[in-house]
Amino acid sequence: MHEAKVDASGPKVSDLDVTDRVEFYNNDDECLPLVRCVCGKRWQPWDFIISIYRENACRCDNCGRKMYFRLGIQVFEVVDD
């Protein structure tokens, strides 16, 4: 687990990046369907959805972890060989 970086609009210092410890499907705007929690609990797609808003973090009914997500964008320039 990696401690999340802080910026003016980012997660709090105590929030942990657990991206590599969960499984999820593609997001739909402000919703992300998790299919596996850090604790191993599994759901069918869209049965457990987390929000982009920290104040609306969703709690796993198995372990009690509260989770939310953030989107990241990378822009690439095509360089011909």
What residues contact residue 58 under an 8 Å CB cut-off, 6+ apart?
Answer: 48, 49, 50, 51, 66, 67, 68
Q: Give 13-54 pLDDT, tens digit per residue.
A: 789 999 999 999 999 989 999 999 999 999 999 999 999 999
> pTM of the prediction?
0.74
What Å distances lie between residue 43 and 49, 65, 77, CA to CA?
10, 15, 38
Confidence of residue 5 (pLDDT cuts 50, 70, 90): very low
pLDDT above 70: residue 8: no
How far, in Å, CA of 36 to CA of 6, rounded?
26
Return the domain boundaries, the chain: 21-72
CB atoms within 10 A of CB 11: 16
